[in-house]
Each structure stands twice: as structure tokens, then as C-alpha cells.
Chain A
């Protein structure tokens, strides 16, 4: 296990402050955040390239905060991969072994096996400059693994690749992680990549960890900053009242969502949100199964209204829904195949059902402390 305890580091004017995280052995821990949030500085500090101004880095309980990078056995793969341009593919892959003076045939055989698994064994004599983007990514991964490291620090290694290749490499990384029982800290700003690869996701924004949770829990933002980063726009002020939540802007009252340890007092105003893909849109007049509306959906708090706009995105569509008698509109995400059904004829008498269990409360910094 890798543990960060109140780790702080300052590089230039930028500070990553008091980070505490735990990375379980054999898991992929994603550090997710926008550009300039301090992700790279954090991972470079874990690797030993920056001297922390406070806190500790622990590896299996041992304090390695001041250890030199070569003594941490954490292979680092930066965003631009930094393949050594003066070495061939083979020399790049063998670099870790040569640097550590491990020249046995068995270890070289292991390195060859990794190269084989990553489909680059045939490129051994090639110059780095003659590789494609995907081949370079695989060489970088092979170089990191061939040295026998069980911990990988990956800094946005798949950025700059087209979607198809990126997904191919995600599967490959997952497979390698399971096969070699790797512990991986992966940095990314890509939500899909984070949720595809990560077992645990920590959200880093402006040098601060806003939330850190397992993948299923990380889906729900805990504060407005994270919600904004996730691109969630269905956020409204709500008022607690008698175990219910009144969302005035939507003219809607819903049962109190799961608020964990948060103390709900009557009259307290907080932001409440719901993901666009968690909302269910259907035609009130034709509940004929076209949109697969179940009785359970019909029992949910519902808003009636019409569609203002629909933005198709290839695999899905974002619908802007305007409820009747409401000040605000809602963003609803629907699968692409349902778009055509929804617009089969002119439908203005539509409904949006809100699953209460999908609503989440966004806390302020003060509230965070009490949770």
C-alpha cells in the first residue's frame, strides 16, 4: 500500500497542500482533475522528483519521503512518454535492467515476455522516431514493466491518442494490471478513462483533494467544484422542510435524499443536484413501452413540460427540458437509439421522472468538515 499523509509540496508559486490518500496494493488509483490542478506535481512528488515541504510518503508502512527515485521502485511514465530517443526499442525496454545491473537471461526473458504481451517484440531494432503513437505508448509501458517494477505512476499516458486506440490501450492496461498484480497511480483529466480504469478515484482541483472514493461512490460529487468539473448542470438550491426537500426553481418537492452524516435542519438551504443521465424522460400520453417506462418510474416525483433543444452526440443526446411553471430547465441525457423514438412525432406533453435516490446534496467547505 502507498500512503500519502498530509503531503504538501510547492513548485514555483503552485502549492499542493496536505494531501492524504491511500492506494491499495494491486489496484488502480486514479487522480482525476482539470489541467493545472497539481496532478503531475503530486505524482512527481510520489516518485521522488520534488522534495515535499511537509507530510510523508509511505510504502508498505515504511517512510520513503526522502528516498531517491531509484530506490522507490516506482516506474514513472510521463505524458510525453519520454522514450529515450538515442536508444532502440529493445534498449529502451532493457534500460531498467541495465541500470540496475541485472543482466541475467531470465530477467531479459521476462522483459521479452512483457514486450510480447504488448505486441512490440518485433519492433526491437527500430528507432523510437519510427514508431506510431500507439506503438510508443506500448514501448513506454513495456519499459516500465520490464524493469520488474510493481508500481506504475502513469501521467496521462493515453492523451493525444484517438478514441479507438485509447480504448484498446485501456483494455491492455487492465489486463496487464491483473496479470502482474500491479499497483497503478494514474493521472487523467478524462472522466471516462478515470471511471473505466480506476478502482478508486481521487478528485484533485487547485492543489486540493475534494473527494476520494471507490469508483461507485466517486460518481456522486460531494461539492459544487467537483460537480462543475464533472459537467453536471442540474444543480438547484433546495430547502429542507419536514424530511423533504423543496426545490423552488423547479417547483418540486422530493423525499429527502441520502445525506449521510449531514445534519439536516428545517429551513437550511443547500445545493441539490442530479446527473443528466439519471433522469428519465417519457411521453405522458403514450406510455406504450416506447421509452420503456415502468410503473416504478411513474411513482417517482415528476415534472411535466417540453423539449427546448436536443444536441445529438453520436452515442447519446443531451436534451434541454423545460418544465411547466418552473424557472429553470433541466438537462437530460438519453441514449442515441431513444432519440428517434422520442421525436417520432411531435411530442410536447413530455415528463421527466426524478429518481429520489439519485439526488445528491452538494456541501460547502464548512459542511464538509461536519461530514
Chain B
């Protein structure tokens, strides 16, 4: 007897196929996983520093990006202004240009008179922790604006109209109506931005380099250990990245479901 496969089953199979692809990649890493030496790699000062730097830099870059992105996203969502299309297009720069190229552009900028002045007077970004944060910020800022704008686009402007008609000023409306209504979506966008920053590699290595115990983040550590044929070490770094990255996203999704925070 022939079993008919309906569209729903095909679509679910498709989704499961994608899961299998990524899951296979993660599982295959365990082929080189050696518990005996993994613990010593994991507890080494170099790994702990990389992990700490990755968490710190991703959090700092995300905070700065979100603080800058919220008003920019609001402006792009609500107002028409000159060069709006141009601004909107440039938000895609981190997507159309490789992170390494983006990092190279930053390096070139710091070799210009304006960049040199900043390096001298506002702090050095080349081969420093500040450089790691800057690299991640440059990579995720456009994405943060894009994600938060999508959240604000979903909120009807009528809420603001009503608030204004009831006597609220534009800034009061922004603080008391727009931001609280968008809160769930902004948190969601921040988590995705953080995940993107946490996994950033190309721009980081270009701007900040790969100095162990100084500018070596987890993604950079993966590359450096692979380059040195330290497969076991690279596997530990990969698993650490996967566990933290996916763990944070999964935890957020569970929390948001419980608290009813909207994802989009």
C-alpha cells in the first residue's frame, strides 16, 4: 500500500533536515574530543581569558550598539528624511562586505589623519581590547538597527498619536509608550545582536589581532589553535562557543515564552 506524503510532512522534513545538518556538524566535532586533555585546556588561563574577553566584549559591543540603534531605528521607522534610503542601504554594509574587509576598512581609517588623531587622543584601538569591542560593534551595529527597526515597524503609530492627543510630548511618548511597547522586541534583538557579536571573528582578528591573554576571543582562539594543528584545543573552543551561544538563545526563548515577550 502506497503511503501518501502531504505538504505539511514535506515542510517539516525540510526543517528537520536543516537541524540535522547543523547537528551533524556539532556531533562530528566529538570525533576529536579527548576528555583527558579537554579539562586542562578548558581550565587553562588562556581559555578562561578568551572566554571572559568574548563575553565582556560581546556584551559591551551589544550595549553600545543597542543604545545607538534604538533612536536610529525609531527615526528610520517613523520619519521620512533626506538620504533615508541611503542610510537604510548602508545598514546592510556588514552583510555585503566580509567582516575581514570591514576590519581592514577600520584599520585604514585609523591610518588616516582623523583616525590617527582619535588613536592619539581618544585611546588606541589597534591590537587592544577596545579594538575587539570596536570590531564587534562595527559588525553588529547595522544588524541591531535593522532588527530594532523591524520591531518598531510592527508597533502601530496610532499609540503615539493617541498619547500625543492626550497631552504627551514627543519625548514623553517615546519614553513612556514607544520604548515600553517595544521592550520585548528590543530584548530579542539585543540577544541576537549579542550572539552575532559573540561569534565575530574576521573584523576582530584584523583590528585587534590574536594576542593570547590580550585580544584573543573564543572565535579567534579556534582559528589560532587550528593554525597550530591543536585540533583538540580547537574542539574545546568550538564546543564552548556552541554551548554558550546556543545556550543563551535557548534560555531566552524559554524565558520569553514564559513572560509572553514577543519575538517580532
List A residues at the B interface (Cβ < 8 Å): 44, 47-49, 68-70, 72-78, 80, 82, 84-86, 95-96, 99-100, 143-144, 147, 149, 153
Nearest CB in chain B to that of A85: its residue:
B181
CB distance from B235 to the nearest CB of A (A): 45
Nearest CB in chain A to that of B184: its residue:
A86
List B residues at the A interface (Cβ < 8 Å): 156, 158-159, 161-170, 172, 176-177, 180-181, 183
CA separation between A77 and B165, bound complex, in Å?
9
CB distance from A141 to the nearest CB of B (A): 12
CA separation between A68 and B165, bound complex, in Å?
9
Contact in complex: B183, A47 (CB < 8 Å): no
Contact in complex: B165, A47 (CB < 8 Å): yes
Contact in complex: B166, A80 (CB < 8 Å): no
Q: A82-B156, A82-B158 are contacts. A74–B181 as well, Cβ < 8 Å?
A: no
Give the secondary structure class of B's interface: helix
Contact in complex: B161, A44 (CB < 8 Å): yes
Q: A82-B156, A99-B172 are contacts. A70–B164 as well, Cβ < 8 Å?
A: yes
* Residues of the B chain whose Cβ atoms lie less than 8 Å from the Cβ of A69: 161, 164-165
* Residues of the A chain whose Cβ atoms lie less than 8 Å from the Cβ of B156: 80, 82
* Residues of the A chain whose Cβ atoms lie less than 8 Å from the Cβ of B181: 84-86
**What are 30 A-B interface contacts by the 8 Å CB criterion?**
A47-B161, A48-B164, A48-B165, A49-B161, A68-B164, A68-B170, A69-B165, A70-B164, A73-B167, A76-B161, A76-B162, A77-B162, A80-B158, A82-B156, A82-B158, A82-B161, A82-B162, A84-B163, A84-B177, A84-B181, A86-B180, A86-B183, A95-B168, A99-B166, A99-B167, A99-B176, A143-B162, A147-B167, A149-B165, A153-B165
Contact in complex: B180, A76 (CB < 8 Å): no
Contact of B159 among A72, A84, A100, A149 (CB under 8 A): A84
CB distance from B174 to the nearest CB of A (A): 12
* Residues of the B chain whose Cβ atoms lie less than 8 Å from the Cβ of A47: 161, 165
CA separation between A74 and B162, bound complex, in Å?
10
Most buried by A among B156, B162, B169, B183: B162
* Residues of the A chain whose Cβ atoms lie less than 8 Å from the Cβ of B166: 70, 75, 95-96, 99, 143-144, 147, 149
* Residues of the A chain whose Cβ atoms lie less than 8 Å from the Cβ of B165: 47-48, 69-70, 72, 74-76, 149, 153
CB distance from B189 to the nearest CB of A (A): 17
CA separation between A76 and B163, bound complex, in Å?
9
Q: 13 extra interchain contacts, Cβ-Cβ under 8 A, other than A70-B168, A82-B158, A95-B163?
A: A48-B164, A49-B164, A68-B170, A75-B165, A75-B166, A80-B156, A84-B159, A84-B181, A85-B181, A99-B169, A143-B162, A143-B166, A147-B166
CB distance from B166 to the nearest CB of A (A): 4
Nearest CB in chain B to that of A100: its residue:
B167
